[in-house]
Structure 1
Amino acid sequence: MLMDSIQILMATMHRKSVSEIDWDYKNTNLPVLLINQSDFIGKEIYNNVTMLSCNERGSSNSRNMAIENATGDICVIADDDVGYVDNAEEIIRNAFHENPEADIITFQIKTPDGALFNDGYLKNKQWHNWRSILRCASIEIVFKRDSILKNNLRLDTNFGLGSKYRVHDEIIFLKDALDKGLKILYIPIPIVIHPKESSGSDFNDSLISSKGAAFVRLFGVKGMFLNLVFAMKKRKEYISKYSIPKFTSKMFTGSIKFIREDMK
């Protein structure tokens, strides 16, 4: 079935008005629901943008507020620093039309110079599994709103920037969707533009322990095994700041904290 409407669900912070964002750079005429985490509560409508301002903090809270207030049949997760390729709307619409069984589709990101954001992108279309979703970024995700609401799916507010554990709210969202039987498709076409980021440069105690917590949230106690896998795989990125035993220990600290305080 060809969906009727596509809406961008965009997160931002500390905006006084819609006009503070560079909408020309966004390169889209799609309607936008802008969740503004600020110091006031309000609503502003300007052209095709609706900004809801709130006092809450955390990326997962922002995404959940967007899901609960969205009106589009298809929803595109976004941050305020992204732009879109010229034919993004057509790509998204065609993807869901050609793959009607898909509840969620992840696409690709490209950089402003036209290169792919992630060197590890697969070249062929495929259905996601628990392993493949570990590579996904939030701004690659597009979903059928009805599928999310019917299955009562939301982001885990313990995870994400500004939350207790600062990573992987989007991956947990996708894993919860798989666990509820939703079908998630990967299509190797870029729809969104974002500058390349240097990997590993921001490893710190909080990030490392949050990774350990996220692995247990995703896979249960057996997820602690992934602490070892991750520590070995990423050692070149952190070895100037942490020894392998220290890095691994901090991941296990996060895992144990989650088990004791937050595991259901």
Structure 2
Amino acid sequence: MSNIFSENDLEILIATKDRCNFDFLLKMFPFKHFSNFNLLIVNQSKTEILLSEYNSVRVINSNESGLSKSRNIAIKNAIKNICLISDDDVVFYDNVIESVLGAFILYQEAAIITFNHIRVGKSYPEKKLYKKFEHNFKSIWDVSSIEIAFKVEEIRKNEICFDENFGLGSFFETAEEFLFLRNSLTQKIKMIYSPEIIVSHPLVSSGKDAGADNLIFARSALYYKVKGNFAYLWLLKYMLFLIANNYINKADFIKKYKKGLAGIYKYKELTNA
């Protein structure tokens, strides 16, 4: 693959649900009409059909559910050299195309490049690092899916996909991007962080309520997947962390701990671990 890219080499993969028109795209691209970009939209719905009259905007309607399933459908059906992952509630910066393609031209060895984003209402980006670095198993914990771009041929060649047990709409509603990147590093995929801000995202995030039952359930499953039986020790330490930082009350310790155990048991059940 050539390392000199044009605007036509980038495709934005958008996960959405229950859409019947493109009004949401107008908010995502406030600086130029969305038809000026190559978009692949996966619309998950059992009731709504989304149709496109634009050659640059392709739509796949799916009656399946789950964010990771949506991402995998998009990866399988992408047709451009470089793909950028997106949700349907972001707002792109007007330099998004130049920033993404410029990074892949600059860092020719990288198959995956992650970028930076800013939360709506904040004056500073999520990541405070303003220099490029090569990702490792520790740094990928801080990556959001909307920051990830990749060379699709490398992803397919190495059979890298999202774990469909994780992510919104699945059994464990967290960490799908971490597992995607972890799988990539395991496959020796070169992965770079580039500090450009390419997108903004609403302030409210499903991952911020650390003491919520669904998050404890999901994170416990994640740690069992990654660390095996060490997850039981981690869960105990995590409960103490939540209490110390006032995410949960001491009176809720047993209830929350059991919720974590339930997550581990559910993961073992799903995977026959």
With structure 2 as the length reference, what TM-score do the two structures score?
0.85
Q: Classify 1:233/1:108 alpha carbon distance in 2 versus 1 (closer, same or farther; 3 Å).
A: farther
131-140 vs 108-117, greater mean Cα deviation: 108-117
Query: Paired residue for 1:110?
Result: 118
Note if contact 1:117-1:196 (Cα within 8 Å) is conserved in structure 2: no
Query: Paired residue for 1:71?
Result: 79
Query: Paired residue for 1:166?
Result: 173
Mapped pair 1:152 → 2:159: yes
210-219 vs 90-99, greater mean Cα deviation: 210-219
What letter is aligned with 2:23?
Answer: E
Query: Paired residue for 1:9?
Result: 13
Q: 2:226 & 2:250 partners in 1: Cα distance? A: 27
Mapped pair 1:95 → 2:98: no
User: What is the root-mean-square deviation in Å for CA atoms of aligned residues?
Assistant: 2.5
Q: 1:212 & 1:62 partners in 2: Cα distance? A: 24
Query: Paired residue for 2:198?
Result: 191
Which of the residues 81, 88, 102 maps onto 1:80? 88
What letter is aligned with 2:117?
Answer: I
Shift of 1:243: 3.7
Which of the residues 261, 266, 272 maps onto 1:252? 261
Q: 1:164 & 1:114 partners in 2: Cα distance? A: 32
Structure 1 gap segments, 5+ residues each: none
Query: Paired residue for 1:33?
Result: 40
Mapped pair 1:127 → 2:129: no
Q: Classify 1:121/1:228 alpha carbon distance in 2 versus 1 (closer, same or farther; 3 Å).
A: farther
SS of residue in 2 equivalent to 1:35? strand
Q: 1:179 & 1:11 partners in 2: Cα distance? A: 26
Q: Classify 1:224/1:129 alpha carbon distance in 2 versus 1 (closer, same or farther; 3 Å).
A: farther
Shift of 1:86: 1.4
Q: 1:219 & 1:127 partners in 2: Cα distance? A: 23
Q: 1:102 & 1:242 partners in 2: Cα distance? A: 48
Which of the residues 247, 252, 256 maps onto 1:238? 247
Aligned length in residues: 262
Structure 2 gap segments, 5+ residues each: none
What letter is aligned with 2:17?
Answer: M
